[in-house]
Structure 1
Amino acid sequence: MLKKIGFPLVILFSITGIILSYMYDQQQIAEIADEATSSIPVEETKPSEEIEDEPVVDETVSLGWLGSHIDNDPYLTQKVVFVGSSSFTSTESDYGWPNLVMEETAHAIDTTTIDYEVLTYSGETVSSSLIADTARDITAADPTVLIIESFSLNDNQYYLPFTEQESFDNLSLFLTHMESELPDTEIIVVPSNPFPNALHYLERKNVLDEQASTLPGTYVDHWGAWPTGEGLESVTQNLRPNDEGHEIWSKAFLEFFIDS
C-alpha cells in the first residue's frame, strides 16, 4: 500500500522540481538580458539640419571693375560700347583691342549676359564735331558701360592749332553731354595710343593726365604698358597700333576691367 502511494508522490515531486528549475532559469536569462540592454549607450538622434548651397563666386570677376559693376545688378544684361578713332582697329587686320578685351571677358564671366559694340570715327576730333557726329549713335546703342577714347591723337593729327587745354575742355564737354543723355551709364575714358617721336602730342597727354580726375567717369591710363624707343616703333604703324600694339592695349585694359 505504501509503495502505491510513494511512487506517484515521487513522480509529482520530480515534475514540480523540473517546473521550478525551468522558471528559475527563465528568470535568470531575463535578468541577464535586461542588464545587457541597459549597458548599451543610446545615441540621441538629432534632427537633420538643412544645408543651404552657397553661391559660387567668380573670383576673377569679384576683383575687377566689371565685377563690382555687375554686383550692383547681377541679372541685368550688360551692353558695353567702345567709342574711338581708327586707333581702335589694327593697321594689320580688322581686329582691335576692344574685340580682344571682350573675348577675354566672355571667358572670365559666364554668369552674366554681356553684349558689346564698337563705334569708330576716323576723322572726328573732340575739338571739332564729336558731339554732333557720335552722341546720337551712342545713345541709340543704349550702353550700360561706355568706354571712350580721348581722341587726342586725332586732335593732334588734324587740328594742331587747338591748344592742349582746348582739347581737354572739349572732351570734358562731350563727356558731360553723354552723362546727361545716359545718366545710368558708367563711363570709362582711355587715352589714345602712344607713338614714337611725339612732341605736341605728349603735351596733350600730360594735360589729360593732370585733369582726368575732373572728367565724368573713370580714367584708365594704359601708357605704362607700352614699350619705348624702338620697341614702340615695332608695335605702331602710321601712328596707330598694329596687331602687337592692340595686344598690349587689351592686356593693360584687362588688368583694370576684370583684373586679368
Structure 2
Amino acid sequence: MKAIILSILSIILVVILVIGNIHWNNREDNPLSNTHPTKEADGEVENKKNKDQYFSLDDYMSFAKSWPESAQKVLEEKLTEKQPFHILLVGSDEIGDQELGLITPLQEALASKYDKYVTIDSLTYDGTSSDYVNNNEYESIIEQKPDMIIMEPFLLNDNGKKLDISITLTNINQVISATEDALPDVTFVLMPAHPLYNVSFYPMQVSDLQKYADSKDITYWNHWEAWPESNDLKLKDYYVELGDRSQANEQGFKVWSSYLSKKLISE
C-alpha cells in the first residue's frame, strides 16, 4: 500500500514538473505574454503624454510681449482655445523668398518657441503700391485671414518709379482700411525695405512712412537700427544691385530676420 502511494506521488510530481517547464518555455518564446510593460515602453508612453499635455499660456504670452497690444489680445484668445495665431508677411520682392529671404528663418524661429500655435507665411508682389491697389491685390491678404500682418509697403518699388510718398501713403491707407473692414481684429505692423548706401531721397520717404505709422497708431518696426549706418561703406556688403533694383543678400537678410525674430520672440 505504501509503495502504491509513493508511485502515485511520483507520477504527480513528474506531471507538475512537465507542465511547469512547458509554461516557462512559452513565456520565453512569447515576450508579449509579460503583463508588465518594459521601462522603455513606459518611457515612450510618458514622453507622448508629456508632449500632448504640455501647454503654457504664460510662456507663449511672455514671448509675445513686444507685439502690438491688439495682437497680444487676439493671441491670448486663440491660445485659450488652443487655436493657431496666423501672421502674414506682405511686401515686394525685397523681402525675398523661401530660399533667400525673411520667411524661412522666421518660420523656423517661431516654430521653435510657439510650436504649432503661431504660424507665418508670406505674400510678395512685384510692382508699385499703386499697382497693388488698382489690381485689388489686397484681396489675397483677406483670403488668408491673418491675425497680424507685417507689411513692407513696396516703398523701394515706388521709389524706383518716382512715386511721390504721398501717393504711397494713400495706397497704404487704402490697403489697411479695406483689410480691416473685412477682418476687424487684424493688426498691422509696418516696416521699410532694406537701407541703401549714401542716398538722400529714400531715407526721407522712410521717415515719412514712420511718421504716418505714428499718426495712425500703427506699430512700426524699424529694423534699420540693426544695419550699418546709411553713410557707412560697410552697408554695401549687406545687399546686392540687381539692374535697376537691389535686394538684401544673405548677410542682409540675416540681420533683418534676426531683428524681426527678436520682436516676435521676446526672451
1:247 matched to 2:251? The reply is no
Specify every segment of 5 or more residues in structure 1 that has no aligned partner in the other structure, as ranges: 1-53
**CA deviation string 1:110-166 (max 9, x = no partner):** 3x52333211112x2223433534212111111122111121111001x20x22222
CA contact (8 A) 1:176 1:216 kept: no
Comparing both structures, which one devotes a greater share of its residues to helix?
2
Percent of counterpart pairs with the same letter?
A: 23
CA contact (8 A) 1:235 1:241 kept: yes
Which of these two proteins has the greater Rg computed from alpha carbons? 1
Q: Corresponding residue for 1:132?
A: 135
**What TM-score do you get using the length of structure 2 for normalisation?**
0.67
CA contact (8 A) 2:191 2:220 kept: yes
Which aligned segments of 4 or more residues in structure 1 are displaced greater than 6 angstroms? none
1:197 matched to 2:198? The reply is yes
Q: 2:234 aligns with which of 231, 240, 244?
A: 231
**CA deviation string 1:188-227 (max 9, x = no partner):** 1111111112222112112112221234642211111111
1:96 matched to 2:98? The reply is no
CA contact (8 A) 1:101 1:250 kept: yes
Q: Compared with structure 1, are the counterparts of its residues 203 and 182 closer, same or farther at alpha carbon in structure 2 (3 Å cutoff)?
A: same
Q: Compared with structure 1, are the counterparts of its residues 131 and 55 closer, same or farther at alpha carbon in structure 2 (3 Å cutoff)?
A: same
CA distance in 2, matches of 1:240, 1:145: 25
Q: 2:114 aligns with which of 109, 117, 123?
A: 109
SS in 2 for 1:237: strand
**CA deviation string 1:214-250 (max 9, x = no partner):** 3464221111111132221001002210111111111
CA RMSD between the two structures: 2.6
Specify every segment of 5 or more residues in structure 2 that has no aligned partner in the other structure, as ranges: 1-54
**What TM-score do you get using the length of structure 1 for normalisation?**
0.69
Q: Corresponding residue for 1:31?
A: none
User: What is the count of residue pairs matched by the alignment?
Assistant: 202
CA contact (8 A) 1:235 1:243 kept: yes
SS in 1 for 2:252: helix
CA distance in 1, matches of 2:185, 2:132: 24
* Structure with greater contact order relative to length (CA < 8 Å, sep ≥ 6): 1
CA distance in 2, matches of 1:234, 1:143: 34
CA contact (8 A) 2:180 2:186 kept: yes
What letter is aligned with 2:140? D
What letter is aligned with 2:129? V
Deviation at 1:55, TM superposition (A): 5.5
CA distance in 2, matches of 1:233, 1:98: 23
What letter is aligned with 1:119? L
